């Protein structure tokens, strides 16, 4: 066994011992099949193979082959092998979540040398994506077009055609340097390069191509004609297969340009009446409708017409002879017929169209789009051709007359689509004059009506929201004002109460205490000279003190009581009389609504009723007391009647004897513009009648039914 074989076996055994059994990859075929297992993400590999090529710049990519196939590996090791070197390498294959595969070699050891596989000489039709991937091939063909890569300007592509087979060829060029590929157009060349079954990079699902290292890998076998328009004219041969048509070489047609669309498509009518569509090669400028041209390109078919692909155009000085032709004025002659209501007559392709309709859709500004026209039951797309600004100012609903050429958009033939369908029928205008406005749409359109309704609805919603906001604000301010008024009323009530208590304490207690002091002083002076007078003074002072105590107790009761908050004044009177001592039966019938009385008047009435009832119980020894009241002719009338012992009103005790009750009542009534009348005689009880005049506003309310 050679030293190289021993080293290779040793490296393989080390790599295998470091990896899980059955998890690593050991051949180029297994690495190429790595993408077929979606469960794998990170898988180690360890293989031995021959380096077929390396990248010319950094050598970071290797093309490696073994007995099972060829594989491309990224070299991340420090060793840079050369083509023809046999190496043992290990690393990891990684597949991202987007199914992108990256095979990275971390360790490389040389194990010998081997021969580099020679290039394969193959025709384009014999190159197989699965069989020849990464192989160096030599092939021939005609360059039918060249163009730069729209994604990476450093790549230049040329299209190689052999019979009906076409394959792209990619060449790396220096930016700003003329690659000379344009001179290869229409030449037959021999190309040596590496065949790739798909383009790497951002194009995930592109087709196969050949990558060449430099311009030297392209050899011209048959140069292009000095005059590219010297190619033979396009034959008028019918019933040829698409493959037979595609195998023909370059052909030319001459005639009048009927229409131009998509920037690189034109419709040419030859002198014998044929309609030929031509797709321009890269970099070609489109002529204008009405010009006479000669177009040279490669034949292809959509099964209805023979067209030219990758064409170049030359303007001819002569003008075409005007031809008389009938225009299509009714789409029902194009749609329908024996083919059914959705069938399109292929013979309408290229015919002149003069139709009226209403605009259903307009292209966006600064965009090459299509108008959509409503022609009775049919909808007709209108291609603006080389006049994209012809639709400026058109509104939906505008009635137009369109003059243009009928274009049938048909899918290209392919081996797996043997009967491509007619996708659409389009009218292509030649100039802005081909769109003639017949009538503008009315200003009051359904869309504008909907806009106005939407604005009004939005305004109503806004007004409703504003009203709700104002209502909440008013309610909030009302509650705040109510709280302020209540607080003010409470403050006024407290002030009135304090004032009333101060007045009462000053008028009654102060005077009574002053009288007590006078009687005590008088008793002290007369005690030695006249003990009887001194005794009467002491007794009077005692009565005055009892009266003061009673008055003070009543004031404290008024401070703690909530009788003024009662809505039923009879209940307020009963609650006030509960503090009186005694077992007398008290009945109350006071038909005066509480809302008719001010707080000061109500408090005075309660105090008067309490004093009169207390006098009847304490001094008259009454067992029954009746309280009654009403409103009559703007006056409050109420009485307190008892069945006590009675007395003589004219000779009853007063302040000098220590009794201030009647005097206090009269003082209260004097402030309320009221009167007190007492009816009583000994042995027949007593009746006190009180009259209080209501203020004018209360009088008016009292007389209101």
Lowest-confidence segment of 101-115, 159-173, 496-510 by average pLDDT? 496-510
- What mean pLDDT is reported for the chain? 82
- DSSP class of residue 618 equals H
Burial class (CB in 10 A: 0-12, 13-18, 19+), 416: exposed
Give the C-alpha separation, 402 to 431, whole Å.
11
Give the C-alpha separation, 160 to 149, whole Å.
16
Q: Which residues contact 687 (CB under 8 A, 6 or more apart)?
A: 639, 640, 641, 642, 678, 679, 680
Residue 139 pairs in a beta bridge with 191
For position 574, what pLDDT does the model report? 85
pLDDT digits (tens, 9 = 90+) for 596-637: 888 778 888 888 888 888 888 888 888 899 999 998 888 899
**Where would I find the beta strands (DSSP E) of 230-345?**
251-261, 265-270, 275-280, 292-301, 306-315
Give the C-alpha separation, 669 to 663, whole Å.
10
Q: Is the pLDDT confidence value at 485 over 50?
A: yes
Rounded to two decimals, the pTM is: 0.57
pLDDT band for position 701 (cuts 50, 70, 90): very low
Helix axes 446-504, 599-618, angle to 10 degrees: 40
State mean pLDDT over 272-293. 91
CB-based contacts of 581-586 (< 8 A; 24+ apart in sequence): 581/617, 581/618, 582/617, 582/618, 583/623, 584/616, 584/617, 584/622, 584/623, 584/624, 584/625, 584/642, 585/623, 585/624, 585/625, 586/613, 586/624, 586/625, 586/626, 586/627
Lowest-confidence segment of 165-174, 320-329, 377-386 by average pLDDT? 320-329
By C-alpha distance, which of 289, 295, 297 is closest to 313?
Answer: 295
Q: Is the pLDDT confidence value at 100 over 50?
A: yes
pLDDT band for position 510 (cuts 50, 70, 90): low
Distances in whole angstroms, Cα of residue 278 to Cα of each of 383, 431, 672: 17, 20, 117
Residue 512 or residue 45, greater confidence: 45
Residue 239 exposure: Cα atoms within 13 Å on the Cβ side: 0
Distances in whole angstroms, Cα of residue 621 to Cα of each of 438, 541, 646, 658: 116, 23, 9, 19
Q: Is the pLDDT confidence value at 699 over 70?
A: no
For position 163, what pLDDT does the model report? 85
Q: Strand pairing of 275-280 and 292-301?
A: unpaired
All domains of the chain in start order, with CATH: 3-113 (2.40.50.140), 120-222 (2.40.50.140), 325-441 (2.40.50.140), 442-560 (no CATH), 562-705 (3.30.565.10)
Lowest-confidence segment of 132-136, 204-208, 212-216, 282-286 by average pLDDT? 204-208
For position 8, what pLDDT does the model report? 47
Give the C-alpha separation, 508 to 496, whole Å.
17
pLDDT digits (tens, 9 = 90+) for 190-201: 999 999 887 666
* Percent residues over pLDDT 90 in the chain: 30
pLDDT digits (tens, 9 = 90+) for 520-572: 777 777 777 777 777 777 777 776 777 666 666 666 566 555 676 777 888 88
């Amino acid at each position: 066994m050679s030293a190289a074989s021993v080293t290779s076996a040793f490296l393989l055994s080390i790599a295998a011992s470091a990896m899980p059994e059955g998890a690593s990859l050991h051949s180029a075929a297994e690495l190429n099949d790595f993408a077929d297992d979606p469960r794998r993400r990170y898988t180690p590999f360890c293989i031995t193979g021959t380096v077929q090529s390396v990248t010319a710049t950094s050598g970071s990519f290797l093309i490696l082959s073994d007995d099972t196939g060829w594989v491309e590996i990224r070299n991340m090791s420090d060793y840079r092998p050369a083509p023809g070197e046999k190496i043992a390498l290990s690393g990891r294959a990684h597949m991202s979540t987007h199914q992108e595969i990256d095979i990275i070699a971390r360790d490389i050891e040389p194990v010998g040398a081997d021969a580099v596989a020679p290039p394969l000489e193959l025709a384009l039709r014999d190159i197989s994506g699965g069989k020849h991937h990464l192989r160096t091939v030599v092939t021939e063909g005609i360059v039918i077009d060249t163009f730069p890569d729209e994604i990476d300007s450093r790549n230049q592509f040329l299209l190689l055609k052999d019979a009906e087979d076409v394959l792209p060829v990619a060449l790396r060029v220096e930016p700003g340097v003329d690659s000379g590929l344009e001179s290869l157009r229409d030449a037959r060349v021999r190309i040596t390069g590496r065949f790739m079954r798909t383009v790497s990079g951002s194009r995930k699902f592109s087709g196969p191509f050949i990558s060449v290292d430099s311009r030297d890998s392209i050899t011209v076998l048959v140069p292009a004609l000095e005059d590219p328009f010297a190619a033979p004219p396009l034959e008028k041969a019918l019933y040829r297969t698409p493959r037979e048509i595609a195998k023909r070489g370059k052909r030319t047609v001459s005639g009048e340009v009927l229409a131009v669309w998509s920037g690189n498509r034109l419709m040419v009518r030859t002198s014998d009446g044929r309609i030929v569509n031509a797709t321009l090669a890269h970099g070609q400028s489109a002529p204008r409708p009405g010009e006479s041209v000669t177009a040279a390109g490669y034949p292809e078919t959509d099964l209805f017409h023979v067209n030219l692909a990758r064409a170049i155009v030359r303007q001819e000085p002569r003008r075409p002879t005007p031809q008389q032709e009938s225009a299509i004025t009714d789409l029902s002659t194009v749609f329908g017929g024996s083919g059914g209501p959705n069938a399109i007559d292929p013979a309408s392709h290229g015919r002149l169209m003069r139709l009226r309709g209403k605009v259903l859709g307009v292209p966006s500004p600064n965009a090459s789009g299509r108008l959509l026209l409503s022609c009775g039951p049919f909808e007709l797309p209108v291609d603006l051709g080389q006049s994209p600004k012809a639709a400026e100012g058109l509104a939906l609903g505008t009635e137009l007359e369109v003059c243009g050429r009928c274009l049938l958009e048909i899918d290209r033939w392919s081996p797996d689509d043997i009967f491509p369908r007619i996708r659409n029928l389009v009218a292509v205008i030649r100039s802005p004059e081909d769109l003639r406005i017949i009538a503008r749409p009315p200003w009051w359109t359904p869309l504008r009506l909907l806009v106005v309704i939407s604005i009004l609805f939005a305004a109503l919603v806004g007004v409703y929201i504003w009203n709700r906001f104002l209502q909440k604000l008013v309610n909030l301010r009302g509650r705040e004002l109510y709280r302020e008024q209540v607080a003010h009323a409470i403050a006024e009530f407290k002030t009135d109460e304090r004032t009333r208590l101060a007045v009462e304490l000053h008028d009654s207690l102060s005077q009574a205490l002053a009288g007590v002091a006078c009687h005590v002083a008088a008793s002290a002076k007369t005690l030695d000279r006249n003990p009887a007078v001194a005794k009467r003074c002491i007794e009077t002072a005692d009565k005055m003190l009892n009266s003061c105590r009673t008055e003070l107790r009543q004031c404290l009761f008024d401070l703690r009581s909530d009788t003024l908050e009662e809505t039923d004044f009879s209940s307020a009177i009963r609650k006030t009389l509960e503090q009186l001592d005694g077992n007398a039966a008290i009945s109350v019938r006071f038909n005066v609504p509480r809302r008719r009385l001010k707080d000061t008047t109500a408090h005075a009435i309660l105090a008067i009723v309490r004093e009169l009832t207390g006098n009847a119980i304490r001094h008259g020894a009454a067992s029954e007391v009746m309280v009654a009241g009403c409103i009559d002719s703007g006056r409050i009338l109420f009485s307190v009647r008892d069945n006590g012992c009675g007395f003589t009103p004219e000779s009853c005790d007063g302040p000098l004897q220590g009794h201030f009750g009647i005097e206090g009542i009269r003082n209260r009534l004097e402030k309320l513009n009221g009167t007190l009348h007492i009816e009583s005689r000994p042995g027949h009880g007593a009746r006190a009648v009180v009259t209080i005049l209501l203020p004018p506003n209360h009088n008016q309310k009292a007389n209101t039914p």
